[in-house]
A and B are shown apart, each in its own frame.
Chain A
Amino acid sequence: MKIELRPLQGTSPGYYLLMGGMALVALVGLAAVWFMEHNGHIVTGMNNQIVWGLPHVFAVFLVVAASGALNVASMASVFGKTDYKPLAPLSGLLAIALLLGGLTVLMLDLGRPDRLIVAMTYYNFKSIFALNIFLYSGFMGFVIVYLWTMMERRMNRFTPVAGLFAFVWRMALTTGTGSIFGFLVARQAYDSALLAPLFIALSFSYGLAVFLLVLMLASNGSGRPLGDALMAKFARLQVIFISAGLYFVTVYYLTNLYFTRHHAFDRFILMDGGIYTLLFWLGPVLLGGVLPLVLLLHPRIGQMRRRIAACAALVVGGGFAQMYVTIIGGQAFPLVIFPGHQVSSSFSDGVINTYSPSLPEWLLGFGGIAIVGIIVMVALKVMGFLPERLDDEAMQHHAAALAAASA
């Protein structure tokens, strides 16, 4: 028995309600952009010290999660975990949707979003930002080709190659995203090659969490069964990814603890940084790290859907907190221009920079998430991205059929 991919059937009121809600949030987000671009960034909480604010937290989270959402497809095509094969198209779709949502937020927060054409036609190839434009569009292209090879029967034989390219490219993409910060030599919080692998580890975790939430919501909403064995596998995978993320975060702060010049920064984030300290310990460490780890290690986790969903949501929440601490906390810590000196000026030298996100920034961020939702929902409706059934029995038949085919 083959597991069929089918578009969502019927028109449940829930689907249209959710779609309507998403459309409304996206529209309100666009209105917020118009307001910001009309009045200037003065209406945001950003300033000359905290130059990247909440929109970047949303955008970077979505872009990082995008590459991670491709995990499930990569597992199937690159690492031979054929169990995940029926879910590979959904994984690819989510990767594209998350990337588009993230890039939309990033682009609409520019001082001059109307100059998108300039960003597309003038390139400084030494800039990791400019390289990222290629990494983003390349990722989009590779994943689309990959989806095509999966969904067009005649192209199936190219799926492993396309999958490999997409996988290699997603590693490059997240390396690029981490390096946006890692290559900033001037600032205490960044200036570390470790940020690239850290972002890759985080992307695995965030991407899988988002994937699980979407899979559970879509399957539930359309009455398609999900097997316990499959969910237990995903839960174990999530445990590994959360641990990897925590490991890199730990090494990052340990490295800083060893370098005397970074002691003050570590102290700021880990001990007396106020909101950033609170967000760090509560977010990625406790609620987004340790708690889901403990919850997911139960032996019969496959049957505990609510717990898996809650853990995925915790990972996503922890991820946002992690991005907030990394991006905004990193800028809040004062730039050290004169080591060993107390400094003061009219331009916030030597003081902790303050930032409170304004409403338009929140609306823009949520608008980006709504765009992701709309893309996914429309795609699920018009094309067969979602397997018809993923219950244990179907999965066993699927595995047996694959084994027979390869024998």
Chain B
Amino acid sequence: MTPDPSSPSKDAGDTKSSRRGFMAVAAAGIAGILIAPGVRLIEIAQAAPATGTPSPGASSKVRWGMLIDSTKCASGCTDCVTACNTENGLSGGTKATDSQWIRKIEIKEVRTGKTQSLPMMCQHCAEPPCVDVCPTGASFKRADGIVLVDKHTCIGCRYCMMACPYKARSFVHEPQHNQKSDVPRGMGTVEACTMCVHKVDKGEMPACVSACASAGHEAILFGDLNNPQSDISKRIASYPSRQIRENLNLDTGVRYLGI
């Protein structure tokens, strides 16, 4: 974020100005408290598309989902992760405080030593525990099955992170700069894979799906689980697929083959 040229320079640091500064901050704070609810209304009003007819919104006739074929997923390949980071403006860092919306997990069966690699992200459950526990309803599921966080009503309590059976969520620990306009993020709120909802709503594929295809693996299939004619539905109907932690009975939107 570039500094506001109209803001006063920092070098005027005598006592008087710092007191004035304090008064200004206090006044701005009080003004903020008084005006903030109004600003929010304006924000909501402007969130509707500026041109053309308003979007019809997500439809419950559709249930977006993914089928991940772990037999096609290459160990060591992180193209889906990189694509996700680029698309959503994530740093790509892997510190414990960095956001990771999608990660590659290497799994090795203890008894047989069989190893597999697969991407793990928000499983977009039909019965999402994160939505159940969210006190304000900021964690919500769209009609088309995509689970999202409303950045305006998330208070940053992190209860959804405690509740997620897949550790799919991250908390924004630091101030964010140079954000993607399609993917707003906010310090002090929780975030996770949005299934690239901004792309899906334009009829495009999620970034990880395209990246996997470009790498020649085609391990991630995206589509409508409600449409029996879709590729994903046909594949799920004809091959044994699994939900991870399926004993929790969450009816995940992301399914896996070959595990």
Contacts and interface: CB of A to CB of B under 8 A. Distances in A.
Nearest to B166: A337
Given A47-B97, A337-B120, A112 B159 contact: no
Contact of A111 (B134, B155, B162): B155
A127 B129 contact: no
Contacts of B20: none
Interface string A166-185: 00000000000000100111
Interface in B98-154: 98-100, 103-111, 120, 129, 131-138, 152-154
Given A127-B132, A185-B248, A348-B96, A343 B105 contact: yes
A64 B108 CA distance: 42
B162 A346 contact: no
A41 B171 contact: yes
A126 interface: yes
A140 interface: no
Interface residues of A, number: 49
- The interface centre, meaning the residue of A48, A116, A342 with most chain B CB atoms within 10 A of its CB, is A48
A300 B190 CA distance: 56
Provide the main secondary structure of the chain A interface: loop
A347 interface: yes
Given A110-B155, A337-B167, A42 B103 contact: no
A383 interface: no
Interface in A5-57: 37, 39-42, 47-49, 51-52
A111 B172 CA distance: 8
B97 A51 contact: no
Contact of B162 (A47, A331, A353): A331
Top 8 closest pairs, chain A to chain B, by CB: A111-B156, A111-B188, A47-B96, A186-B165, A129-B135, A130-B135, A124-B137, A51-B158
A345 B120 contact: yes
> Secondary structure of the B side of the interface?
loop
Interface in A183-198: 183-187
B107 A186 contact: no
A116 B165 CA distance: 27
B244 interface: yes
Nearest to A121: B136
B168 to A, nearest CB: 9
25 contacts: A41-B173, A47-B173, A48-B96, A48-B171, A52-B162, A110-B156, A111-B171, A111-B188, A111-B189, A111-B190, A112-B156, A112-B186, A115-B154, A119-B136, A124-B137, A127-B132, A129-B133, A185-B129, A186-B129, A186-B165, A337-B166, A337-B167, A343-B105, A345-B103, A346-B100
Of B129, B162, B186, the most chain A CB neighbours within 10 A belong to B162
B136 A118 contact: yes
Contacts of A112: 154-156, 186, 188-189
A180 B104 CA distance: 30
Contacts of A247: none
Contacts, number: 170
Interface in A300-344: 331, 335, 337-338, 340-344
B174 interface: yes
B244 A338 contact: yes
A51 B161 contact: yes
A340 B132 CA distance: 28
B71 to A, nearest CB: 16
B197 interface: no
B188 A40 contact: yes
Interface in B164-189: 164-167, 169-175, 186-189
Given A122-B136, A130-B136, A346 B103 contact: yes
A128 interface: yes
A237 interface: no
Contacts of A337: 105, 120, 165-167, 244-245
B157 interface: yes
A158 interface: no
